[in-house]
Every structure is written in C-alpha cells, then in structure tokens.
C-alpha cells in the first residue's frame, strides 16, 4: 500500500538490525486517515471470505483490529497477554514468544467468544518471526473455527514468517513488506 510505504519512509526509524519504530503513526500515536485506508484495503481483500470475527492481540493490534472489524461489521476479539482476576478459566490459550519484549506470554481468549462457526480474520501490526500470528492461529484451531486469512500492516520479509505461512496455503495480506533494512544507512527497501 503506497501510503503506508510513504509513511514508513518519512516517519519510520530503523533501530539496530531488525526493529522498525513507527510510534508516530501506528504504535503510539495513530494516524486515523491512514488507519482507515489500511482497514479498507484489508476489507477489500477479504470481503468475500465470510468473515464473522476479527482477532488480534493486545495491545497494539487493538486499534487496527477495531477499525477493520467496523468495516466488516463484526466483533473484534483480542487475545489477552496476561490472565486477569476477572477472566474465566474457560479459555483457549497459546504460548507466544514476544519479539520486542523477549519474553514468553500465554495469550488467551474466552471460549465463549470464539466458536466453531466463526470464520476469523487475524490482524496485527507487524509480522516478524510469526510467533504472534501462529499463537492466534492456535486459538482459532483450538476452537475449531476457520481462518479466513491474516492481515498485517508491516511484514519484515527478511524474517521469513510471511513466506512460510504463505507456503502453508495461508492467505497473508501485508500492506507493506520490507525486504531490507540497513542499520548503517537506515535505508529501507520494499518488496
């Protein structure tokens, strides 16, 4: 998606060898017009798939997922990263190693909100090594629900999870795919 690539080039910051910081428009402050265009792009891509639920992971997936769910007029469901006192024990869970925090979380959704009759569109901000998306896919398959596809804002193509998921026949639609990020020159090359 041209606009997202332009935002990445204009405002994104390359940290180290493999982290892109996009706090000014996606991860802390959120550009509403861009968010709307991104959600529309995913809607157009998946509108004929019979999506009944959008699934994401807290925290940064929630804003994206909300706008996408609004386009589809279906509920947004987000997996929680830590068990809170008011959560039931009636949970689907999966272990996810966090790329940015370097720790393992058990993600969970209440079984009441994910059913075998659901067709799920997974949405997340980044795809790196695929841990978050695969954890969400585990929740979907635990519920015997169907997967419509995966919508990602920024895929770091050099980390290969997107290619692996596509090779498994999963419909992954990334709005920007970065194939190279040069830590020295800060240059970003899109696929």
Per-residue tokens: 106: 């058990």
Given a contact cutoff of 8 angstroms between Cβ atoms, the answer to whether 158 and 186 are in contact is: no
Q: Which CB sits closer to ligand 5GP, 51 or 105? A: 105
Written as six digits, the tokens of 28 are: 């802390």
What secondary structure letter does DSSP report for 153?
E
- Measured from the CB atom, the residue of 17 and 117 that comes closer to ligand 5GP is 17
- Answer yes or no: are the C-beta atoms of 87 and 109 closer than 8 Å: no
Residue nearer to ligand 5GP on the CB measure, 72 or 126 = 126
The distance of closest approach from Cβ of residue 90 to ligand 5GP in the complex, given in angstroms and rounded to an integer, is 25
- Contact (Cβ atoms closer than 8 angstroms) between residue 42 and residue 173: yes
CB of 48 to ligand 5GP, least distance (A): 27
Residues 6+ apart with CB under 8 A from 123: 42, 54, 55, 56, 61, 64, 65, 68, 150, 151, 152
- Minimum distance, C-beta of residue 158 to ligand 5GP, in the bound complex (Å): 11
Q: Which CB atom, from 60 or from 89, has the smaller least distance to ligand 5GP?
A: 60
Closer to ligand 5GP at the Cβ: 92 or 99?
Answer: 99
Site of interaction with ligand 5GP (CB under 6 A): 19-22, 27, 60, 99-100, 124-133, 161
Question: What's the closest the beta carbon of residue 169 comes to ligand 5GP, in angstroms?
Answer: 19
Alpha-helical regions (H) of the chain? 2-11, 32-46, 61-72, 131-142, 161-167
Q: How far is the CB of 128 from ligand 5GP (least distance, A)?
A: 3
């Amino acid at each position: 998606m041209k606009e997202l690539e332009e935002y990445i080039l204009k405002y994104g910051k390359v940290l180290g060898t493999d982290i892109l910081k996009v706090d000014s428009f996606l991860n802390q402050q959120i550009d509403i017009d861009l968010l709307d265009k991104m959600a529309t792009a995913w809607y157009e891509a998946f509108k004929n798939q019979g999506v009944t639920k959008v699934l994401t992971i807290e925290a940064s997936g929630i804003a994206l997922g909300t706008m996408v769910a609004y386009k589809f007029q279906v509920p947004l469901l987000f997996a929680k990263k830590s068990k809170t006192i008011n959560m039931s024990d009636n949970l689907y869970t999966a272990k996810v190693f966090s790329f940015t925090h370097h720790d393992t979380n058990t993600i969970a959704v209440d079984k009441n909100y994910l059913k075998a009759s659901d067709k799920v569109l997974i949405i997340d901000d980044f795809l790196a090594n695929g841990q978050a998306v695969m954890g969400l896919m585990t929740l979907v398959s635990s519920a015997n629900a169907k997967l419509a596809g995966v919508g990602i804002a920024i895929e770091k193509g050099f980390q290969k999870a997107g290619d692996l998921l596509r090779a498994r026949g999963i419909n992954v639609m990334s709005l920007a795919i970065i194939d190279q990020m040069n830590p020295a020159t800060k240059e970003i090359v899109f696929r």
